Structure 1
């Protein structure tokens, strides 16, 4: 069976290369059992085994070469190949993306527009991006959760769904951190994962802003039609 990282690399635009640290992370997650293959394709989650309540819903997906052309309304693949959606960050269809910015690879967020409105830079390097994902939000696409811990965000969601008191019949379950990715980052790169995304992501520009200084927002705006 072809390794997941190889599937991702094969789907990248010609001349684009999967960063070594991201390839290593995908290889590790696949090795511990976080890959899922079904009728919809191949995916890698942040946890081994089948999805459970309390886990992050983030998953890596094999890139769709048409995604950015549809997202930006720009049919010119030479322009849109600089941004490659690679990880689903929300059930609304938002993605984190590889950004091939000249001779370096950065990471940006593409809010769906029908849900999350965040289009902006996540991190300037792969380790920063992986630390962001390893925080473990259910859906990191939503900027309003970045000031909360994932456990606080989950408690808020449960409360909004009907309260956290089991006596009231509300569904209760505990947040589960993505320990497989966290421990690998600690062991391999000697880095820790922050409690909140606000420690990594400084600003979250709106998809419909007239202008913004965020470099990823500016790039997406420049290639949009």
Structure 2
């Protein structure tokens, strides 16, 4: 679900737990703003790669890679109220709110 501060993101954030770990490892400041997901996150001045220690841990622990952008893992992020989406979580939330 969104952040509660204006984000309406309401979708499944990966096919499994590993995909969710990979999503977090990309390094977005907040994953609730899906309009930023088509671009890689901007590096912070004092870090060559965002989330570097966590990224290395995820890659080594579950033998995977980290995608450059979130849409590689969640290609069609749904938002609360989206009537035309395939996301089961968003559909459930929308139905519960009616």
Please say which of residues 187-196 and 128-137 is displaced more in the overlay: 187-196
Q: Mind listing any 5+ residue stretches in structure 2 that lack a counterpart? A: none
**TM-score scaled to structure 1, two decimals?**
0.39
Taking the aligned partners of 2:82 and 2:55, their CA distance within structure 1 comes to 34
**TM-score scaled to structure 2, two decimals?**
0.82
- Aligned counterpart, 2:74: 201
Please say which of residues 213-222 and 125-134 is displaced more in the overlay: 213-222
Flag the 1:217–1:187 CA change in 2: closer, same or farther, 3 A.
same
By percentage of residues, which structure has more strand?
1
Q: Is the 8 A contact 1:150 1:175 kept in 2?
A: no
Tell me the SS of whatever aligns to 2:32.
coil
Q: Is the 8 A contact 2:27 2:41 kept in 1?
A: yes
Q: Mind listing any 5+ residue stretches in structure 1 that lack a counterpart? A: 1-109, 155-172
Q: Is the 8 A contact 2:81 2:94 kept in 1?
A: no
- Aligned counterpart, 1:29: none
Deviations 1:36-56 (A, max 9, x none): xxxxxxxxxxxxxxxxxxxxx
Taking only aligned residues, the RMSD between alpha carbons, in angstroms, comes to 2.0
Taking the aligned partners of 1:133 and 1:145, their CA distance within structure 2 comes to 14
- Aligned counterpart, 1:179: 52
1:144 and 2:17 matched:
no
Taking the aligned partners of 2:46 and 2:82, their CA distance within structure 1 comes to 34
Deviations 1:3-38 (A, max 9, x none): xxxxxxxxxxxxxxxxxxxxxxxxxxxxxxxxxxxx
Ranked by relative contact order (alpha carbons within 8 Å, sequence separation 6 or more), the top structure is 2
- Aligned counterpart, 2:19: 128
Taking the aligned partners of 1:122 and 1:183, their CA distance within structure 2 comes to 20
Taking the aligned partners of 1:206 and 1:218, their CA distance within structure 2 comes to 10
